[in-house]
Structure 1
Amino acid sequence: MLHYFRLDRPPPLLGLLCLLPTFARAQITVYKQIPLGQTATAIAAGAAQTTLPAYDATVLIPPAIPIPPPATAYTLPVQRDAAAVQGLSIPHVGGGFFGFSVEMSVINQVLGKNSSLLQVPFLNLMANIQERAGSVLVRLGGNTQEYAVMVDTLPDGHTIAKQRATIQQTTETPAVEYTVDLFYMASNISSFVNVNWFIGIPFNDSTNWRLAIAENAQTIIGDNLLGMQAGNEPDYYASHGIRAVTYGPYDYFGEFSNLITTISQNSLIPRKNILIGPSLASGDWMPEQVWDTGFIPAFKDSLYALTILLANPTVIYSLRYICSYPNNNCFAVFGVGAPQDPQENFKDYLTHAAGVNMVRMYLNSTAIAQAAGKPFIMFETNSATCGGFPGLSDSFGAALWALDYGLQMAYSNFSNALLHVGGQNVYYNPFTAPLTNQSTFNQWTIGAVYYSALVMAEAFSTTNTSRTMDLWGNAANLYTPSYAIYENDVLSKVALFNYVDDRTGASDINVAITIPGSTVPASVKVKYLESESVSFKNITWAGQTFGGPYEVDGRLRGDLSIVTVACDQAANTCNVPVAAPGFALVFMQDITGISSVGQASLTFSTTVRTSGGTATVDPVVLATSNGHSGKDRALVGSTSKGSIPDSACRVAASRNGRGLILVAVLWAAAAGAIM
């Protein structure tokens, strides 16, 4: 596979250093970055940015202990061999199950300014998923893809620019302009961490298709491009006024067919068989209405996967809102629909029924997808549409909910699910970059559901053989769900939940795992996802955390804590405690050594900061955001400002023999800065 670097601008310094396989850590230069230790004092109490949803400090009251409470001790029989299990899921292949859907209008915030200035925290976060799962799935798109237009250049070297929305719609997401550098940026990211991409073909004009995004993505991203979405929420086209009021599933079928014909005649799009659809939201269509058009047999040879973005059936006709979200906060944001009380809704997320009910409506479609031999992907989801709920979407309870929901989707034969990522105006982000004018002193903020993605990646690991079973332990109690995960058709892990919030310890549970017809191992390793309360925002996975608001560089902090539980082989039980609240991942075997993984072995860090002169800072404490946008200054390629000017980088990038020479110079300079 080829990776492309722009030759008309400096190559990414980060990328050049990563080309050296002997170095475990990559280095880049940032501008005027304040070290980690100063972050807390840089945020004044009551500062304007704290009112933004992504940084909202609301803490809800935990739901009361259920009556009757779940049993605090129970035996959980788990079969050793997959052949003895009825209803086991299909094998899960690659990507850690949870990927990320990045709204096109915030790509500059999340991925980087352009192909030369990538967001280092994003790379670190993706590296942590890759370490556990082998790869990561990222979608670039959403509502903003439909009106996206490619332009030659944008001001200040940006890859993406927002435009005012051309239609009135609940989401009110802006249309965007983008340059070809978008694809170089994606390709460069994939050269550092194994990210695979989905992009969206603009679908607003099916007469004059704008296929530049498909042409350039295939040429530049190459094999790391998995699929191209054809239509985003077509069941909303009529209500949003971008199609006739009579627009229906057969009209979408016709436009999809027209797109396939157009692509077949385009020599700049060599891979004709990676389209994705129908990506329904919560309009008037059900998935079966699309399947009934003959969509799958007609387009099977052109499809990479079947995708859906559909809402909970209990609310699907009470409010039209997008994608597979269990609830909505649209009244608070747009004045649409019924008012929602996050405190009242909180309890609905803290039960196994939440994930089960969300997934139930798709069981027929996942079976249809299996029969067609196609992946079935939840292309966009999160805790609540219209940005999520304050105090709920960023809580430990949301992390437990997302983890249970993800395992339930895997058990129900979804191939993957993508957690949606917006800007600072939403509560549910897996991760949030600071506002551009704060990036010189603030770092990123981690969201609760990123921890869910990390745990899911570790649960499924890198074998590409993971199969999931909902065990319904503890007399099928909804507050203590449990799952078994099999790899290579042998029991690999057991996942245990406790949704009850009780800091007295009286509701902690003890699970006696037993293996009928076999013997438990002498001991098992256990990792815990923990917080003191379902309403708290501070979360640890195996004792490690990413940090609080404005202080995340994408790397786990703290000592790795793996609990070894001695099993009673005579009694054939392993007794695993789970706090109230809490989650435990029990490693019944360790095929790949994944149980010992903490911080990813590959990290991306900075070594210097500049502000007129030069300064050296220990990389342990130096912030690793890309920092200032770099506007009106040359890329600083060493610890001495101007010693390797922008023109030198261009020369090195354009001549095959010079690149590694420049790498050596830069590495020597960086090494000198920290000796």
Structure 2
Amino acid sequence: MRSFLSLSSPFLWAVLAAAQYAIYQPKNQVIYGGTYLHLTASTTAAPAFTNAAAYDPTVLNPPAVPNPPIPTSVPIQLQSSGVSSNVSAPVNGAFMGISIEMSVANQVLGKNSSLLQVAFLNLMSNLVERAGWVQVRVGGNSQESAELVSSLPNGTMLAKDVNNTSGPTSTPPLIYTLDLLYTMGNISKLTNTHWYLGIPFIDAQNVSLAIVEHGQTILGSNLLGFQAGNEPDLYAAHGHRPSTYSQFDYFGEIGTLVQQVANDSAISNKNNLFIVPSIQVTWTPESVWNTGIVSSYSNSLYALAVERYPDDNCAALYPSLGAPQNPQDIFINYLQHNASTGLVSSYVNSSAFAQQNGKPFIMFETNTASCSGFPGISNSFGAALWALDWSMTMAYNNFTAALFHVGGQNAYYNLFTPPPSNQTKYGAEWTVGPVYYSALVMAEVLGPHNASQVSDITQNINTPIYAIYENGAPTKLALFNFVTDPTGASTYNAVISIGGGSTGQSNATPSQVQVKYLLADSVSSKGNFTWAGQTLGAALKSDGRLNGTLNVTTVQCDQSANTCSIPVPAPAFALVFLTSGSLQAVSPSSTVTFPTSATTNTGSNIYIDPSMLATAYGHSGMENIRGATSPGSLSGASTLHTTLSGALAIFVSALGAVVVAWRW
């Protein structure tokens, strides 16, 4: 049963009128004035479905234990204060964001602005509770020819012309309505999500600026910027530009875009709008900077960006490209630290260039491999460890954000995947991939203070290590073990000393530290991932909420020796909280989650006491409640859009956004 948060249901009006907020109870129950509404789902057996890439069962063999073996004791000496070298600039907690291919936005975000995907809200809420906010890009190849239309049949907000695809990824041209932007606005009101959008750049001489005009109006401060061209270095190869198309042609097209914006009276904010150049690898970033694009259009640019996947699986999809790679042969490439340091080396000059020009530097699209990833790699525990290491490597090298891509059912690498449409009415839910766990962990690594500085202090390519500082003092350690060794022989102990030793400072190792572990049986595992003892469930079983008992391990330190020894299993990731405040900052006392308010299953039934319903309907007395969107209310929530008669009041209390649940 596909679950949505309905923002236009009369019944939801009834429940909200009776209670200021509702606390979600066990699945398939709703609390209403102290009375449960028991919801009955269909018991019909689900039909078989073809295993799409998102559910591919391929399991690889983990790489062999290294020979020579990794050290089992790793000394880590940290200064207690005053650290100013070998650290990144301060990084915000929402560093690891999400890129959603525009063509699947209606599957991921919601059917429309009145029916939001509950699991997506929960997944975003998890990140917001730890980092304070989350950044999401809606775009990709499918943005390049997207066209705004006034309406689509049956309240649809997005449609694809699958008979007119183009490019090596067979991208379908899109049409969409303003309801897509209202959907994004409603999500922002509930989860503090901020957005990047893409300008359709297929015809750079006559760019449609409708998405800029309406995006600013509808999304307001939740709008971050607009991508001006997605991978323009591949335009010629994709048939979108002549074979002679160059960096200087792109420079000229940005100039044309800037002039069009200047002449468009419907665009209120004309500065700090665009993200450029978002190239892959055909052009170097330096070759674009050398055109003068930043100095010429600085006032119009929000950020500089690139896109990069470490590999591609395109030959598996398009035989004309040659023999496909064997995932087993390249699995090891994702499980050594030099993979990330080698990949980032192409961007060290550019991150410094961005800093010099006062612009964010964003990895605007990345994941394990282009063309949807590799079976057995992209959906394995190894991918979770790789994505974490890649993210921390980028943060250390002064990227300001990294957006990991989500495609459709045909992608192996998705952070999360809605269920196939033919399974929703039989209880199938979302599938949360390993890279979402990376995003969850990364939010805790950096925290909500926007002050974390990352230092790479790795000693062995199989066991990356990062120290996290705030204001020159260490707050956390991030410890990896890429090795799979069920014998336990490759577990290592990180022996931490703060102050003392060669630092010239007094001993400062605390009496104890807390540790959270990201665990699975093997780097090749396809499920049973846990973060601090909690999991997001098996394939087709997640509603976006963490389940299980939170397990934060307390490790006693030896202050007489000024050491603290942290075991790191093979495989695992361990986040060591060196101060109680660093743990508290990412430990929400309560997490706002979003229970189901509507589903696509018309076969379910619901019993409601008629006397409750008779007295509950309406919105009397709500005219002055903040958060309501009813005429005459005091709400300033102009982006909380309603599409049907009668508006929804979402109450906001100290606990956060308020929702109730029901199913039809």
Output the TM-score relative to the length of structure 1: 0.84
| 1:354 equivalenced with 2:368 (yes/no) | no
TM-fit CA distance, 1:654 = 5.1
- Which residue identity does 1:497 align to in structure 2? F
Provide structure 1 residue ranges, at least 5 long, that are not aligned to the other structure. Answer: 310-323, 618-637, 665-669
Partner-residue secondary structure (3-state), 2:389: helix
1:375-425 deviation line (CA, Å, top 9, x unaligned): 100000000111111111111111001001100000000001000000000
CA distances 1:217-241 after superposition (whole Å, capped 9, x unpaired): 1000000000011111111112222
Aligned to 1:521: 510
Q: Which amino acid aligns with 1:107?
A: A
Counterpart residue type for residue 447 of structure 1: G
AA at the equivalent of 1:213? I
Local SS of the residue matching 1:189: helix
Q: 2:558 aligns with which of 568, 578, 585?
A: 568
8 A Cα contact 1:356 1:408, kept in partner: yes
Report the AA paired with residue 570 of structure 1.
Answer: S
Q: Which moved more, 1:599-608 or 1:498-507?
A: 599-608
Cα distance between partner residues in 2 of 1:36 and 1:654: 29
* Cα distance change of structure 1 residues 341 and 599 upon mapping to structure 2, 3 Å threshold: farther
**2:93–2:444: 8 Å Cα contact kept in structure 1?**
no
267-276 or 568-577, larger mean C-alpha shift: 267-276
Q: Distance in 2 between matches of 1:41 and 1:564?
A: 47
Q: Do residues 385 (structure 1) and 375 (structure 2) align?
A: no
Aligned to 2:540: 550
* Structure 1 segment 424-463 matched on structure 2, within 5 A: 424-441=409-426, 442-463=428-449
Q: Where do 5+ consecutive residues of structure 2 fail to align?
A: 30-37, 500-504, 623-627, 634-645, 653-658
Deviation at 1:280, TM superposition (A): 3.6
Look up the match of 1:293: 291
Once structures 1 and 2 are overlaid, which stretch shifts more, 489-498 or 424-433? 489-498
Q: Distance in 2 between matches of 1:458 and 1:76?
A: 21
Alpha-carbon separation, structure 2, partners of 1:147 and 1:236: 15
Tell me the distance in 1 between the aligned counterparts of 2:12 and 2:235. Answer: 43
2:279–2:305 CA contact under 8 A, matched in 1: no
Alignment-mate amino acid for residue 69 of structure 1: P
1:607 deviates by 6.6
- Equivalent residue number for residue 217 of structure 2: 219
Q: Is the 8 A contact 1:530 1:581 kept in 2?
A: yes
Look up the equivalent residue of 1:528 and give its one-letter code.
Y
Whole-Å Cα distance in 1 between the matches of residues 251 and 239 of structure 2?
19
Aligned to 1:277: 275
How many angstroms does 1:48 deviate by? 2.1
* 1:655 equivalent in alignment to 2:639: no
Question: For residues 211 and 531 of structure 1, what CA distance do their matches in structure 2 show?
Answer: 47
Give the aligned partner of residue 503 of structure 1: 486
Q: Give the AA of the match of 2:318.
A: F
Q: Which amino acid aligns with 1:465?
A: A
Q: Matches of residues 78-227 of structure 1 in structure 2 within 5 Å?
A: 78-81=78-81, 83-95=82-94, 97-164=95-162, 166=164, 168-227=166-225
- Report the alpha carbon displacement of residue 277 of structure 1 after superposing the two structures with TM: 3.3
TM-fit CA distance, 1:606: 2.7
Please state how far the C-alpha of 1:58 moved relative to its aligned partner: 1.0
Range moving further from structure 2, 207-216 or 493-502: 207-216
Q: Which moved more, 1:273-282 or 1:352-361?
A: 273-282
Say whether residues 1:329 and 2:313 are aligned partners: yes
2:43 and 2:572 map into 1 onto residues whose CA distance is 28
CA contact (8 A) 2:598 2:661 kept: no
RMSD: 3.6
* Separation of aligned partners in 2, 1:276 and 1:673: 41
On the 8 A contact 2:6/2:116 being kept in 1, the answer is: no
**CA distance, structure 2, for counterparts of residue 75 and residue 267 of structure 1:** 62
Distance in structure 2 (CA, Å) of the matches to 1:353 and 1:14: 55
Q: Output one character per residue of 1:60-83: Cα deviation in whole Å (capped at 9) or x when no partner.
A: 1111001111111121112222x3
SS at match of 2:484: coil
Task: Give the structure 1 partner of residue 32 of structure 2.
Answer: none
Separation in 2, partners of 1:256, 1:644: 54
- Structure 2 distance, partners of 1:181, 1:386, is 29
**Structure 1 position 173, deviation (Å):** 1.4
Verify the 8 A CA contact 1:94 1:133 in the aligned structure 2: yes
- What is the rounded CA distance, in whole Å, between the counterparts of 1:554 and 1:349 in structure 2? 27
8 Å contact kept, 1:17–1:26: no
Alpha carbons 2:39, 2:604 under 8 Å: kept:
no
Q: Distance in 1 between matches of 2:509 and 2:129?
A: 28
Spell out, residue by residue over 1:316-365, the C-alpha distance to the aligned partner (whole angstroms, 9 max, x if none).
Answer: xxxxxxxx111111111122244201111111111111111111110000
Shift of the alpha carbon at 1:597? Answer: 2.5
Contact 2:109 2:120 in 1 (8 A): yes
Work out which of the residue numbers 358, 361, 370 in structure 1 matches 2:355: 370
Give the 3 Å change call, closer, same or farther, for CA 201–599 of structure 1 in structure 2. farther
Per the TM alignment, residue 487 of structure 1 is displaced from its structure 2 partner at its CA by 1.9
Distance 1:662 1:108, change over 3 A: closer
What's 1:632 paired with? none
Is the contact made by 1:27 and 1:606 (CA closer than 8 Å) also made in structure 2?
no
Aligned mate of 1:339, from 315, 324, 334: 324
1:397 aligned residue: 382
TM-score, normalised relative to structure 2: 0.86
**Structure-2 separation of matches of 1:421 and 1:114:** 19
Q: 1:354 to 1:267 in 2, by over 3 A?
A: same
Q: Please, which of 575, 581, 587 is the counterpart of residue 571 of structure 2?
A: 581
SS of match in other structure, 2:509: coil
1:541 aligns with 2:531: yes
Query: Residues of 1 paired with 2:556 and 2:368: CA distance?
Result: 37
Q: Relative to 1, partners in 2 of residues 1:422 and 1:36: Cα closer, same or farther, differing over 3 Å?
A: farther
Change (3 A) 1:673 1:37: closer
Match of 1:307 in 2: 305
Task: Measure how far apart 1:285 and its partner are.
Answer: 1.2
Partner of 1:615: 606
Residue 454 (structure 2) aligns with: 468
- More deviation in 144-153 or 485-494? 485-494
Q: 1:326 to 1:283 in 2, by over 3 A?
A: closer
Residues 41/86 of structure 1: CA separation in 2 closer, same or farther (3 Å cut) = farther
Q: 1:478 aligns with which of 438, 441, 461?
A: 461
Comparing 191-200 with 155-164, which one deviates more in the overlay?
155-164
Q: Contact 2:6/2:598 (CA < 8 Å) preserved in 1?
A: no
1:591 counterpart SS class: helix
The residue that corresponds to 1:71 in the other structure is: 71
Q: What percentage of aligned pairs have identical amino acids? A: 49
SS at match of 1:221: helix
Structure 1 match to 2:592: 602
Note the 1:626-665 alignment, pairs <5 A: 655-656=631-632
Shift in Å at residue 176 of structure 1? 0.7
- State the SS of the aligned residue for 1:525: strand
- Asked if the contact 1:16–1:659 (Cα under 8 Å) also holds between the matched residues in 2, the reply is no
Residue aligned with 1:62, SS? coil
Matched to 2:543, the amino acid is D
Whichever residue aligns with residue 605 of structure 1, its letter is P
User: Residues 92 and 447 of structure 2 are in contact (CA less than 8 Å); yes or no, is this contact kept in structure 1?
Assistant: no
Of residues 415, 418, 422 in structure 1, which corresponds to 2:407?
A: 422
Q: What residue identity is the alignment partner of 2:529?
A: I
Shift, 1:436, TM fit: 2.3
